[in-house]
Chain A
């Protein structure tokens, strides 16, 4: 039974309210002990533990991404569970929640189990999010109890919204009974037909049809009303990739009214604005689209003041040839797993002085709690030995060509970021070494 002593690092574990120099002993895939520097040496020696020198490094719970697209089953030309989780490990993530817009759509217990099979070659833990409706067609809800029993941690039709009021109402009610959150991709598709970027002056100038902010906020407001009408305290609505000030305001109002409404923000939405579309750069095309500076500022404010519950990447790999098309034909989405920590540190910690512990909470502790990933996002004794070691200040340059992902579609190629990941451990095993 292998043990590892992570020695000499600065441990940040928001779940234990710990932000200090501590050594960490991992044993049998779990956190065995946390103690002051040097205090665990004797115990580690008895267990013949390997030593991981963490001097100068931050030791944090492995990051948790509750919104990724791993493209399996059925779209393995873009990504596989093996390559997607390798990219996750390189970015410091040890838990990823995979959206169901695969081929076929993951709307069954069978597919949910298939995704978690050891045969997939995942290097970090994969938690499937199952489709909220059959085939994600928005017409009939799936069997939430059976999906949960098979390992699904939430339901969502991500990629499209659950548009019909009655179906969304049913979904929220059934999910509440099953103890699952409903994750909504908030987009009123009646307002976004043919649209490929944010609506406004820039879209007009580029001759592109735009997605108005109201297409997002309108669905968020509708969902909040449905949730309020349900009067079931177990009901949990989670808004995926929230991108507008208007929608965030709606979430804040709902929270003031005591409703269980949470939201996530993607790194590209707090790092970029629609200006990144530039001359039709397909790597700046995603859904929801990059917004204007006032939206970006509102999202950052929400991340700083706690209104936003989690950072989630919406990692969405696409092949080079798919992104090398006319802007209006190219698919939505960008990679996110390898750059999330760096962007969060650069924008939130360095530029806006958010304490490191809060950054870790947004990338690990809180997302794990949102989807009830027990034993994840925490370094308390008994938790899974999911750990990331990174240098918060040393900079590194992201090179898309060297990505562990199968795809290359990132707007951050060539960016120099802080937060170089040194080592990622998943359940006690080293799954990524930055310096190797």
Chain B
């Protein structure tokens, strides 16, 4: 027998039929599936703000400087910044503070805004987030501000649309604009307006920020814990076991856990109080009376343990639960200023989103 190496399968002796028909001998012909298109994913637009993890110190400085510039600009000049640009607010969860803040920020830059909320839209009829995003893009949206009950939803929207996406809170994941406005509030109160234009790795060195309460369900806690240590701060999570799991301390560098509220307060330069998100507790048992006794920030406790600390709260506040009225309205509180800084930060984020060019070529995602 001669060795045949040119073709893989050679008949010997040659079969009576043509080679192409040889598959008739097989039990069944191999079916081919209709070739669906591969998952199409656009690169995430660099004007997006999805998570604190994407922010560099330099990037934060640019946002802070832009916020200050926009804030001091004449109203008329500012209105031309994003004149007639189209911004969509896509809200799958109810929100007053954040939605109004983004909406006012967009309007004060001259942009047109469209609000789409989960009720009163085709979302109710089961339209996917991807399709809603594509529809908004087709209608001319140049940037989408998204609030969504599912962690990571902004990444999906960013990849589906290729548009700059601003994460206005996703599930229990992040709320990065809140962390930036908290940072601006801290800089203003602790160092003054001039120092709030830029930051370095050392800006918050030696400072301890205590974040207290329902850490597990808090996107504000995650965004702050991932941002503030980049500027030198130490973040101290404080709360009871079900609301503050042990591995929360591993979220990133500069984060640790102090379960005792008084000890956390004693170390804190800034105290950030969080609401217990009862709507997300689902199954977790929590004795609210006991919780309030252990973790409520009242005037006596604040005076005894942290008489000089700055008090923050992302809202909504449940007065009498995690914080008393006396503290919320007291001299150490910067809660109202947070709202004011929120507007400046969101103006900066919108400007950045609409002025950052998309990545020139969609680099194809390949791995080894």
Residues of A within 8 A of B (CB): 2, 5, 8, 38, 41, 44-45, 48-53, 55, 82-83, 86, 89, 121-123, 193-194, 199-201, 204-208, 279-280, 283, 319-321, 323-329, 400-408, 413-416, 422-423, 426-427, 429-433, 435
**Which of B3, B25, B28 counts the most chain A CB atoms within 10 A?**
B28
From A55, A326, A407, A422, give the contact of B150 (CB < 8 A).
A326
From A83, A326, A414, A426, give the contact of B152 (CB < 8 A).
A326
B30:A279 contact, CB within 8 angstroms: no
Q: Which residue of A lies closest to B174 (CB)?
A: A207
Q: A207-B173, A325-B128, A413-B38 are in contact. Are A121 and B31 (CB under 8 A)?
A: yes
Q: A53-B5, A321-B128 are in contact. Are A401 and B250 (CB under 8 A)?
A: no
B129:A326 contact, CB within 8 angstroms: yes
Q: Which residue of B lies closest to A404 (CB)?
A: B33
B26:A430 contact, CB within 8 angstroms: yes
Q: A204-B250, A406-B33 are in contact. Are A121 and B11 (CB under 8 A)?
A: no
Min C-beta distance of B217 to chain A, whole Å: 9
Q: A321-B128, A404-B33 are in contact. Are A415 and B368 (CB under 8 A)?
A: yes
- Docked pose: A431 CA to B151 CA in angstroms: 44
Min C-beta distance of A315 to chain B, whole Å: 14
- Docked pose: A82 CA to B31 CA in angstroms: 7
B9 interface hit (Cβ, 8 Å): yes
From A51, A206, A406, give the contact of B34 (CB < 8 A).
A406
- Docked pose: A333 CA to B366 CA in angstroms: 21
Q: Which 4 A-B pairs rank lowest in CB-CB distance, beginning with the nearest?
A: A207-B173, A280-B152, A201-B250, A207-B151
Chain B 328-368 interface 0/1 with A at a Cβ cutoff of 8 Å (1 = within): 00000000000000000000000000000000000001111
From A123, A329, A406, give the contact of B28 (CB < 8 A).
A123
B316 interface hit (Cβ, 8 Å): no
Min C-beta distance of B13 to chain A, whole Å: 6
A45:B12 contact, CB within 8 angstroms: yes
Min C-beta distance of B365 to chain A, whole Å: 8
**Would you list which residues of chain B between 221 and 240 have a CB under 8 Å from chain A?**
222, 226
**Would you list which residues of chain B between 269 and 288 have a CB under 8 Å from chain A?**
282-283
Which residues of A sit under 8 angstroms from B194, Cβ to Cβ? none
Which residues of B sit under 8 angstroms from A407, Cβ to Cβ? 36
Which residues of A sit under 8 angstroms from B226, Cβ to Cβ? 205
Known: A123-B30, A408-B38. 17 other contacts (CB 8 A): A2-B25, A50-B10, A50-B11, A51-B10, A83-B31, A193-B283, A204-B248, A204-B250, A206-B152, A208-B151, A324-B128, A324-B156, A328-B171, A401-B37, A408-B36, A414-B365, A429-B27
Min C-beta distance of B228 to chain A, whole Å: 15
- Docked pose: A328 CA to B226 CA in angstroms: 22
- Docked pose: A205 CA to B224 CA in angstroms: 12
Which residues of B sit under 8 angstroms from A52, Cβ to Cβ? 8-9
- Docked pose: A205 CA to B33 CA in angstroms: 39
Which residues of A sit under 8 angstroms from B4, Cβ to Cβ? 51, 53
A435:B31 contact, CB within 8 angstroms: no
- Docked pose: A55 CA to B8 CA in angstroms: 9
B205 interface hit (Cβ, 8 Å): no
B323 interface hit (Cβ, 8 Å): no
B251:A415 contact, CB within 8 angstroms: no
A51:B12 contact, CB within 8 angstroms: yes
Min C-beta distance of B3 to chain A, whole Å: 7
Which residues of B sit under 8 angstroms from A200, Cβ to Cβ? 247, 250
Which residues of B sit under 8 angstroms from A279, Cβ to Cβ? 44, 152, 155
- Docked pose: A430 CA to B30 CA in angstroms: 10
Q: Which residue of B lies closest to A397 (CB)?
A: B366
A328:B245 contact, CB within 8 angstroms: no
27 A-B pairs (CB sep. < 8 Å):
A41-B1, A44-B1, A50-B15, A51-B9, A52-B8, A53-B7, A82-B31, A121-B31, A123-B30, A200-B250, A201-B250, A201-B251, A205-B226, A208-B152, A280-B152, A280-B156, A283-B39, A326-B148, A326-B152, A326-B156, A327-B152, A402-B35, A406-B34, A414-B365, A430-B26, A433-B9, A435-B8
Min C-beta distance of A210 to chain B, whole Å: 9
- Docked pose: A435 CA to B174 CA in angstroms: 49
**Would you list which residues of chain B between 154 and 203 have a CB under 8 Å from chain A?**
155-156, 160, 170-174
Chain B 83-97 interface 0/1 with A at a Cβ cutoff of 8 Å (1 = within): 000000000000000
Which residues of B sit under 8 angstroms from A326, Cβ to Cβ? 129, 148, 150, 152-153, 156
Min C-beta distance of B215 to chain A, whole Å: 9
Min C-beta distance of A347 to chain B, whole Å: 12
B173:A433 contact, CB within 8 angstroms: no
**Which of A89, A201, A206 counts the most chain B CB atoms within 10 A?**
A206
- Docked pose: A207 CA to B9 CA in angstroms: 55
A327:B27 contact, CB within 8 angstroms: no
B32:A404 contact, CB within 8 angstroms: yes
- Docked pose: A328 CA to B368 CA in angstroms: 28
B170:A433 contact, CB within 8 angstroms: no
Q: Which residue of B lies closest to A426 (CB)?
A: B27
Which residues of A sit under 8 angstroms from B15, Cβ to Cβ? 50
Q: Which residue of B lies closest to A193 (CB)?
A: B283
